[in-house]
Chains A and B, each alone.
Chain A
Amino acid sequence: MSDVVEKTLTALPSLLSLDSQSGAGKLSSTSKLGGLIRSITELTSKHEEEKLINRELAAIKEQVSSPNTSMRQMKEIMVRAIYCEMLGYEASFSYIHAIKLAQQGSAIEKRVGYLAVSLFLNESHDLLLLLVNTVLKDLQSTNLIEVCMALTVVSQLFPKDMIPAILPLVEEKLTNPKEIIRRKAVLALHKFYLIAPNQVQHIHSKFRKALCDKDPGVMTASLHIYLQLIKENPDSYKDLTGSFVAILRQVVGGKLPVDFNYHNVPAPWLQIQLLRILSLLGKDDQSTSELMYEVLDESLRRAEMNHNITYAILYECVKAIYTIYPKSELLEKAAKCIGNFVVSPKINLKYLGLKALTYVVQQDASLALQHQMTIIECLDHSDSIIKRETLEVLFRITNVKNVAVIVEKMLDFLKNVFMEPDILFLLYVGCFPLLSDTYSPNNEWFIQTMNVVFSLGGELMHPDIPNNFLRLLAQGFGSEEEEQQQLRVFAVDSYLTLLESDTAHLPQRFLQVISWALGEFSYLKDGLEPCKVTKLLAKLLDERNVTSESRSWILSAMAKLSAGPGAAALALQVSERYSSSLDTVLRQQALELLHLSQDPELHARVLPHGAAWDSFEVDSSLSFLDSFVSEALSQGAAPYKAPHQRQEELRQEKALSLEPYSISLPVSLSSCSITDRQSPTLLSMSSSLSGNSNELKAGTLKLEGVKRVWGKEGYLHQQDAVEEAAQVEEAATPALPLSPQQGGAESQQTHGDLTVVEQEKQKLASSLFVGLGSQNSTFLMGKSDSTSQQFRRKTRAADSTSSGVSERSSSSSHSSCSDFLHNNLLEDSQNSLNTQKIGVSNGTHEGPVTQSFQTTSKETSPFLDAGMVLVQPCSPQTELRDFVQPGSSGITQTSLRSQFPPELSQLPHSDISLLSSDHSLSLSACRAYRDDALLFVIILSNLKCCGSIFETFSTLIQVASLRGNALENLPAHSMSVCWYALLMEEPHTQVTVAGSVSYRAVPGHTQTLQFTDKLFLTDFIRPLTLSTEEYGKLWLSFSQDVRQNLKLIQGEGDPLRATLSALKEQLQLHIVDIIGSEGIVACRLLPDSPCLLHCRIHGGSLAVWLRSPLLSLPDCLLYYCQKTLEEC
């Protein structure tokens, strides 16, 4: 059969030349589909169309179910069904027949069958499982075209958990003699890598083979995978830089067959792919970047032709040049290139030029200055997309002097064009850093701007905006207390004015903001009667278009105000009305309001004015209810069961089992996912919330989930930079010819006959580009790397004792959301710690202290990390290897070990490794494995003189508790140990922790030592001791499973036992039972997420099924299992 196909293929060129128009199958307009289409076009109304299609579908339905329909007819029917679906009518009855067609049809029918399947079904559709066998069969076919079809459909849609079934076959195709098959196989693997990276990790070496394939098409396809891999972990692929550069050089030099040209440009897709890879590799890496300077230069030079595709290459090239380690010569050329784009009359190029500019101005603001007139013109461009891009550029160059103008432009844009949530977000993000007292022209301006933002934004607005705004109001941005109060009073004033006018047009979110701010801060305004505010709020409450969520905000604001004289009576009135509300939340709040307004003492206790934020204690365990509960229990009440437990029991009572009959079935039927449960942690959290106490309010300000983007940390640092910039600017302005005002003046002299319009533009330019002239300008809007955020905080020595505490204003909302507790507790403890230390350090006359911490955490691609070492827990008794730190006076492991506190030295722990050091401080770390957490132990040794040390540490892993001792003075050659208990919240194969230590060796001079370390999933895995019975129960309670074949260790004795015990040794698993050729193993991810493994010898390998409530845990664990067994 393959011979037939091969012959056909080789004969093709000659056939084609005979019949050049062969493809134009215009005949089919006479077919049934043609008839259908024609009759549809003749219709006049949608209603008629509906009738016609329904008739058609009924006919199709009858035909497909008839046993006499041949596959050939079926193909024709399927095409019509696809057409009906495209028109928006459902033809779900035909799905199963599409699969049948793919299964049983001959080549051309099969192709239509596959097409219909890929158009009809979704990746999660149940019927897709029926396709697996067909794909398997076709992958093994000797017919080239059938194999191609199978590979195509596999890369279009394939159920994730069935990938292992076909993976070996697809892998095998990588060595197929036909390049088209190899190429499709590589792309299919790329798809697999995207949806299930852990499944394809073992064929990594084959990717390299594909990269070196003699066919450029296969090589190009493999670059898709490499781009992805390098994106995730650039470090592991630095060695390939040379090869990529060589390939690019050959491509640019025109060494590829002409076949790969596109409009006379050699392989543009390949070029762009390579440029992208290079920019990822060269980022922040000078030596790697140096390898590519030459070829980038050549790419810039070669891409001269005036065609879109060369512009695409140029754009990518410029992006690469600005991403890698800078080289001034190249930067100059790239800047010129961007300039050409920006001034181009072609609108698409202008757009890209502006886009590149947003990217570049963060590094070099003078470029914006060069093109200021073009930017001004673009600001009035008729195309709103261009306008929007221009505004983005402007926002990147915002500074204290032009902020008002830019924000005004932005607001204009919003009013005139259309609501775009992302523009609003941009506006908001752009505004916030500017709000510090040095930045915003004044507080009033800020409040008014935010008012406009809120009223315009409406319900489209990102919920972070109001939340952060309120947080900012509550905490201030660390400015003087007085100014902060002033800001609040402004806010209260403007809100009162707003409420007094018509409120019907105000969006709900804004109403919520208003009511919260009024509730919190209206006491600050002298002479303002709480009763007046309450009246306004009551009026608002009665308005019809106010949602019940907003009502609940209003009620809680009223509760805060109800203490004042006069307000109580009104509160009483309101609470009476709402205590019969149908909405339970409102009803409860009304009752609370009633109580609070009548009992001033209680009110003062629950809602104190201006109380410190952290003076609230939240009893998340609800221990105050203990006596109540025990009393109820003793009276025979049933003990509380969490919802998931209840559901579990219910499920067990029901006779119908949705679980697969045998666990050795290779597929988990996707019908199991009907039982799709929430993770137990989530549920238990909500259950802990269900105990409602008086202090807990549902509708009040939710600050806990909100990312702290613009906290105090962000601001002071900027203020610093601004002061600097301002100073330098003052000095530089007179001397700098590029300064905008002067530039404007000059051009006015040369062109005396400038029109008024032009003059206006120039004026606008000078107001927009003011303060840019030098590299000292600050770029606050930097789209900073999403993976790393840097916070810096500068605490002034002056208000040392109060700063950490008093800036926090009261908030009446507390929930037991654990996330909030962890995050903020961590921060708070650090803050207060820091404050105390500063208090002391004032006494010893030491200047300000800078403290910074950085968070970088990412999931690194599991199988890239060649240098990764699996840490072995070792007992404290093991012999210690001495090591001498570079440049240190011989600090040995033993001496480091001696620092261990007794409670740690009992625990198994890893070797102590040096993480980072400089001339005066060295920092080592080790991991100790406690049963309930991983302890990350940091050992600081002072190598030189004395000095004070402060340190912080943060990571995206949930930090369960913190025990760090910030040191005041660390005597010379001494050490200190602190440790952190860590848990893993989301399974990752590996996470990076980063932190920094700030210390002062010489008074007044602060140094920072950065460190990073990697933690592995295995660090967080502990054995889970279970009985076989418990295991069985637990197994049935999870429905999703992952299957993988693992290597068996062939040694003496039982291979199953040997393999399992190797896994147990290395990964801290618990072997529950081994029966015959099957074994069951359990472990848990800290704190308590179980993962169950069912192993069975199958052929020469170990088949393992894993189940866990955390979906990604099995994948991550499998990775380590594979790794362990490979190493054995």
Chain B
Amino acid sequence: MYGSSMRFLLLFSRQGKLRLQKWFTPLPERERKKIVRDMTTLVLARKPRTCNFLHWKDLKIVYKRYASLYFCCALEEQENELLALEILHRYVELLDKYFGNVCELDIIFNFEKAYFILDEFLMGGEVQETSKQSIANSIEASDMLQETMEEYMSKPAF
């Protein structure tokens, strides 16, 4: 097991339904399922007005609730918890910018878009791009490509 600074990121609802999962280190399927179960029970059991950090095995869990969704990520021991909270926050901002007033339904129905945004923001567990505008640009670029590519593909190749 090698260390990227973030090990995984999970989004789940108040009912414990998984909405998005991103694993930055390879884990067998069974392990993943167990982690998702552990995380939802641990985080959902937290009372309001407690701190946003937890310990789980040798990892630090940082979570935050935005409306009906919990954003939860796991960090290595030496990582900065507050910074991780801001990473979650920035991700929410990005989703918000893309969907416009994002809500849980947006993420349920367009989860693949949420993944694409995440991929532009984090890469291999590290923050790749922090500028909201740049991320929006590259996502839009890929979205736009759909049309232009189809036009292109209808032409004979090279």
Contacts and interface: CB of A to CB of B under 8 A. Distances in A.
Given A5-B148, A15-B140, A115-B116, A191 B124 contact: yes
A29 B109 contact: yes
A29 B99 CA distance: 14
A747 interface: no
A734 interface: no
Interface in B92-120: 97-100, 105-106, 108-113, 115-116, 119
A312 B144 contact: no
A12 B140 contact: yes
B110 A348 contact: no
A25 B113 contact: yes
Interface string A72-110: 000000010011001110000000000000000011100
B51 A351 contact: yes
Interface in A211-239: 217, 221, 224
A37 interface: yes
Given A86-B21, A348-B82, A260 B131 contact: yes
Given A33-B109, A83-B111, A190-B124, A267 B130 contact: yes
A1120 to B, nearest CB: 23
Nearest to B139: A23
Contacts of B113: 23, 25
Contacts of A112: 112
Contact of B3 (A180, A183, A194, A351): A194
A383 B49 CA distance: 9
B146 interface: yes
Contacts of B115: 115, 119
B110 to A, nearest CB: 5
Contacts, number: 195
Given A16-B140, A107-B149, A311 B82 contact: yes
A262 interface: yes
A180 B140 CA distance: 14
Contact of B111 (A1, A82, A267): A82
A382 B106 contact: no
Interface string B7-27: 000000000001111001011
Contacts of A878: none
Contacts of A347: 49-51
Interface in A56-83: 79, 82-83
A382 B144 contact: no
A1105 interface: no
B124 A5 contact: no
B35 interface: no
Contact of A272 (B83, B108, B137, B143): B83
Interface stretch (A151-159, A456-464, A525-533): A151-159
B83 A269 contact: yes
Interface in B19-61: 19-21, 24, 26-29, 33, 47, 49-55
Nearest to B157: A1
A756 interface: no
B21 A145 contact: no
Interface in A275-326: 308-309, 311-312, 315-316
B152 A122 contact: no
Given A86-B21, A312-B80, A312-B83, A122 B28 contact: yes
Interface in B63-111: 80-83, 85-86, 89-90, 97-100, 105-106, 108-111
Interface string A354-398: 000000000000000000000000000011011010000000000
A385 B112 contact: no
B116 to A, nearest CB: 7
A260 B134 CA distance: 10
A417 interface: no
Interface in A170-185: 180, 183-184
Interface of A: 1, 4-5, 8-9, 12-13, 15-16, 20-26, 28-29, 33-34, 37, 79, 82-83, 86-88, 106-108, 111-112, 115, 119, 122-124, 144-145, 148, 152, 155-157, 180, 183-184, 187-188, 190-191, 194-195, 217, 221, 224, 259-260, 262, 267-269, 272, 308-309, 311-312, 315-316, 347-348, 350-352, 382-383, 385-386, 388, 420, 422
Closest CB pairs A-B (n = 4): A312-B82, A123-B26, A383-B50, A155-B124
30 contacts: A1-B152, A5-B141, A9-B137, A13-B137, A15-B140, A22-B140, A22-B143, A23-B97, A23-B139, A29-B109, A34-B109, A37-B109, A83-B111, A88-B33, A106-B149, A107-B145, A108-B143, A112-B112, A115-B119, A122-B28, A156-B124, A217-B134, A221-B128, A260-B130, A309-B82, A311-B82, A350-B51, A383-B50, A385-B51, A385-B55
